[in-house]
Amino acid sequence: MSPLYLDNNATTQILPEVLEAMMPFLTEHYANASSGYRFARPPRRAVDAAREQVAALLGADPSEIIFTSGGTEADNTALASAALARPGRRGIVHSNVEHPAVDSFSKHLTENYGCSRTIIPVLPDGTLDLDKLHAALDPAHTAVLSLMWANNETGVFFPIPEAARLAASRGVYLHTDAVQAIGKAPVSVRDSGIHFLALSAHKFHGPKGAGALYASSQVRLRPHITGGAQENGRRGGTENVPGIVGLGKAAELARLRLESVEPQRLRSLRDRFENRLISALDGVAVNGHLELRLPNTSNLVFPGVDAPALLMLLDDAGICASGGSACHTGSVHPSPVLTAMGFSTERALSSVRFSLSCLTTEAEMDRAADAVVKAVTRLRGLRDQSSPVIRASPTPR
């Protein structure tokens, strides 16, 4: 039985069209895209075409797209570039629910490069505390404001266009980690005042190890990976041509999906799934704002249920879901995102994230809902009989 994959915020399946576009660059067109001879023209042209495809998705100019190894590198590059650009300004401001690609790198800049950081909280529904944001941006000291477009665990959106206007009024660079939003919600940098944006192909049906940084033509990018003169001197290293081609194709397909009924289809599948669980099981609730979230993400609390045990029973039923972000799988620590929203450890450890994709069908969601109802009923029954609770043992890390 093939798995029922509901962990699409961790990664997605490569679409056949993406693989097909990549194949020639894994086989006959293997030349180095930076070589001068004719044999290198197909890969060079393919890289240029991919740059246009990514720019079209974002409403950017192709010259503003720099290919990277993924979202983490794009986030690191943007932060380092913005935080170290102006000697008098070394302040970094970001939320307390950012991905480690931002959070741990800002800590690194603070500990090793003379930066300071201010971390702004979210409200219990996962939205940004805008009063705290206003107070945190210091026109004399803040270099960069970094906010994710949508959260990886709850799907909750931050108001990026508004934040960009506020940042601009204080001379602060705005970087957005849009890794989870791309392909699932409209994202445009056109006339937005956004300086930097990170994206990653494997989150929207492209290959792993390929991503991009948007760096506005208004800013001077400080390269983070230095080496050869690739990417117009902005990122050293031989171009990952198959990965870049796959990213470009995935971006083109994402743009077409966003113009179609796909976002509404996902939202109604997700809402139907949630409504079925809420009516069948006591106490089930959505973690995060009900409306201001990605249409594919459902983060639910099942009171009285040990999430790792629930995930284990779902795994037995062939269903992949997650108890936090992928990097935390196997750990029994409560999700830092849910605790940042003010939830108790108990609530965080009873929460599961289901994330859908354009490949998810209604029949699959019905099967998943039936399996969740069965598993939660079983776990609650065991608890009520005071039998030993089924606990998943954490995998040593």
Which residues are catalytic, by number?
Answer: 327
- Going from the C-alpha of 266 to that of each of 89, 251, 287, 316, the distances in angstroms are 43, 18, 18, 25
Q: At closest approach, how far in Å is the CB of 101 from ligand PLP? A: 4
Residue 7 has, within 13 A of its CA and on its CB side, a CA count of 20
In the complex, which residue's CB is closest to ligand PLP? 71
Q: DSSP characters for 88-133?
A: T--EEEEETT--HHHHHHHHHHHHHSS-EEEEE-B-TTS-B-HHHH
3-state secondary structure of 10: coil
> Residue 90 or 154: which CB sits closer to ligand PLP?
154
Pick the closer one to ligand PLP by CB: 326 or 389.
326
Cα separations in angstroms, 179 against 29, 31, 365: 29, 30, 24
CB of 182 to ligand PLP, least distance (A): 10
Nearest CB to ligand PLP, comparing residues 313 and 355: 355
Strands of 297-301's sheet, edge to edge? 285-286, 297-301, 351-355
- What distance, in Å, lies between the first and last C-alpha atoms of the chain? 29
Closest separation between CB of residue 40 and ligand PLP, Å?
27
- Name the residue nearer to ligand PLP (CB basis): 80 or 376: 80
**What is the distance between the alpha carbons of residues 157 and 321, in angstroms, rounded to a whole number?**
21
Between β-strands 4-5 and 173-177, what pairing exists: parallel, antiparallel or unpaired? Answer: unpaired
If the CB atoms of residues 70 and 334 are measured against ligand PLP, the closer one turns out to be: 70
CB of 152 vs ligand PLP, minimal distance in Å: 4
What is the distance between the alpha carbons of residues 359 and 379, in angstroms, rounded to a whole number? 30
Nearest to ligand PLP of 174, 277 (CB atom):
174
CB of 41 to ligand PLP, least distance (A): 29
Burial 52-87 (b: 16+ CB within 10 A, else e): ebbbebbebeeebbbbbbbbbbbbbbbbbbbbbbee
Compute the distance between CA of residue 237 and CA of residue 66 in angstroms, rounded to an integer: 12
What is the closest distance, in whole angstroms, from the C-beta atom of residue 327 to ligand PLP in the complex? 7
Residues 6 and 354: their CA atoms lie apart, in Å, by: 5
Residue 285, H or E segment: strand 285-286
**Pick 53 or 77: Cβ nearer ligand PLP:** 77
Residues lying near ligand PLP in the complex (CB under 6 A): 70-72, 75, 99, 101, 148, 152, 177, 179-180, 200, 211, 325-326
Of residues 24 and 237, the one with the C-beta less far from ligand PLP? 237
* Alpha carbons 101 and 185: distance in angstroms, whole number: 21
Task: Give every CB contact of residue 175 below 8 A, 6+ residues apart in sequence.
Answer: 75, 78, 79, 82, 144, 145, 146, 147, 194, 195, 196, 197, 198
Task: Tell me how far, at minimum, the Cβ of 10 lies from ligand PLP, in Å.
Answer: 7
The Cα 126–Cα 158 span in angstroms is 9
Question: Whole-number minimum distance, CB 99 to ligand PLP, in Å?
Answer: 4
146 backbone dihedrals φ, ψ, rounded to 5°: -120, 120
